[in-house]
Amino acid sequence: MAKLNFSNMKGKILSVTALLLCCASVSLGAVEYIRHSQGYYEAKLIFRLEASVEQWTSRFQFESTVQNFTVRVPNTQIFNASNAITYNFGSVGYFPIAVGEWAIDFSVAYQDTGSMPQLQLASFNGRDLDTGYIAPPTTTARPTKPPPSTGEHHYDEIIALSLEFYEAQRSGKLPPNNRIWWRGDSFLDDGQLNGLDLSGGYTDAADLVKFGFALVSTTTVLNWGLIDFLPGYNSANQTGYAEDAVKWALDFLIKAHPTSHEFYGQVADADVDHAWWGRPEDWDQGLRESWKITRDKPGSELAAEGAAAFASGYLVFRNRNSSYAQELLRHARELYSFADEFRGDYTDAIPAEGFYDSWSGYGDELGWAAAWLYRATNESKYLQDVNRHWTEFNLSRRADKFSWDDKKAGLQVLMGKLTREDKYLSPATQFCDYMKNTQQRTPKGLVFIQEWGSLRHSANIAFICLNLAELGVKSAEYREFAKEQIHYALGAGGRSYVVGYGENPPQRPRHRARFLF
């Protein structure tokens, strides 16, 4: 047994050093507190494995009662707890860890009128660690790891925070490894009025509606990032969380597509929802309605974007879960055929008008879906369909945004990636050149598309131009432009717009699930 010695590092990060004498041969480790606000803290136990392990268990004992203890490591489970003080947890099934540095990330919620419950005892694979008293870290509204003085940022932490946002948006029965301690199960009876299970998925923004068109668009872009920027997720140790995020959406979308020509595109009446303020767990307004597109009431934007979400999801999971990936591909094929054969505006069937209108029409989604299916299958018929839609809907024109509504810029870059043809790369380059050199900007340099959601527009533009840079198109220029736009959101404009990160981040975001805390 080894004594843990604690010291304060610059008043912001507490470090604890210990000799971990476990059967897996663990050497010096450290506990690092990531952030602390009254009633909640996040920390990690970092150590180095001198020999690999295939499974692991751990025990944490705190000095006083905690309200919630969460292990923030994928594929782990809390096996049991005693008096809300001692927690036994570990890996579920085969969990290989190679020689080298590793960490157990965890978070603790506690009564905000009391003192911070310190980690008093810990064990890893059966060997105890004896912890001494730790002076509580300084309460802070942002991570205790400040941005580097070089003007760069901790991108790994930002990716992690972004993925936690999606977990905060989850609807349905939450999994045992839920990391958002203030969220619980909600809307388990969604779909009951329609005779099926439409629980799960994500609620929209700060509200409680499940808007299908926004959801499928988000899922496609998240998938795209996992497909083409996987090394970044791996480097940030966030791949498992990112895969969980897209699977949570895809699992819901599978349920929303019960037959080849039915696709549910909205759960909950938006007007009823917006007239009621409260947490999803406290909903008392009765069963929620759901709406779908059919042959008689088609919705090509929704069906085609759903096909893109499923096809890109297939690419994410084909080497990880082949049977699941094949199921996704089947849904993609069916929805694309539905979208192309039975054409119509989805808002004629689903009451999303005024919330998520498809201003760009459905032509861009048809081309986008065909492109993703071409990438997923390499079948020439989908390439032919891309070119058919390209001509029919004039998809070669320069886009003025990349958003849940307008996919032209994404289509142009994606097809440029797949074919390297100037036919596609030229309009994509025109888009990035225009955004970089001509598009209106704020006084501090943010590319400005519109007042509503201005940062998501600039971030989406950055994503498109980074994809072009990866293809060798004006690489240095576009990477610098993208970095400039993302850094504005992270604090280059004078304040951070990411909750929990950087200088002067938002303190009271409008978010109904969190409003009681």
> What's the pLDDT band for 146 if we cut at 50, 70, 90?
low
Q: What tens digit of pLDDT does each residue of 216-238 get?
A: 999 999 999 999 999 999 999 89
Query: How many CA atoms, within 13 angstroms, populate the side-chain half-sphere of residue 115?
Result: 10
Separation of alpha carbons 239 and 219, rounded Å: 15
Q: What tens digit of pLDDT does each residue of 393-426 get?
A: 999 999 999 999 999 999 999 999 999 999 999 9
What mean pLDDT comes out for the span 341-350? Answer: 97
**pTM for the structure as a whole:** 0.78
User: What is the 3-state secondary structure of 51-89?
Assistant: CCECCCEEEEEECCCCCEEEECCCCEEEEEEECCCEEEE
Q: Tell me if residue 100 falls in helix, strand or coil.
A: strand
Integer CA distances (angstroms), 339 to 9, 113, 209, 303, 367, in order:
58, 55, 24, 5, 11
Considering only 170-184, 198-212, 306-320, which range has the smallest mean pLDDT? 170-184
Q: Tell me if residue 154 falls in helix, strand or coil.
A: coil
pLDDT over 50 (residue 154) = yes
Q: Which residue has the higher pLDDT, 475 or 493?
A: 475
Separation of alpha carbons 8 and 144, rounded Å: 12
> What's the pLDDT band for 134 if we cut at 50, 70, 90?
very low
Query: Which residue shows structure tokens 């059967």?
Result: 23
pLDDT over 90 (residue 314) = yes
Question: Amino acid identity, residue 411?
Answer: L
pLDDT score of 291: 98
pLDDT score of 112: 65
pLDDT over 50 (residue 76) = yes
Read off the tokens for 453: 């959601």
pLDDT over 60 (residue 329) = yes
Q: Could you tell me the sign of the dihedral formed by the alpha carbons of 426, 441, 511, 507, in that order?
A: positive
Q: What tens digit of pLDDT does each residue of 21-69 get?
A: 334 455 555 677 777 766 788 888 877 787 888 999 999 998 889 988 9
pLDDT score of 140: 45
Mean pLDDT, the chain, whole residue set: 88
Each as own residue / partner, the long-range contacts of residues 170-174 (CB below 8 Å, 24 or more positions apart, any chain) are: 170/200, 170/202, 170/248, 171/199, 171/200, 171/201, 171/202, 171/203, 171/208, 171/210, 171/280, 172/199, 172/200, 172/201, 172/252, 173/199, 173/200
Q: What percent of the chain has pLDDT over 70?
A: 89
Considering only 1-5, 263-267, 281-285, 298-302, which range has the smallest mean pLDDT? 1-5
- Going by C-alpha positions, the residue among 249, 427, 270 that lies closest to residue 357 is 270
pLDDT over 50 (residue 12) = no
Separation of alpha carbons 360 and 213, rounded Å: 13
Q: Which residue has the higher pLDDT, 445 or 28?
A: 445
Query: Which residue shows structure tokens 């290989």?
Result: 96
Question: Amino acid identity, residue 52?
Answer: S
> What's the pLDDT band for 138 if we cut at 50, 70, 90?
low
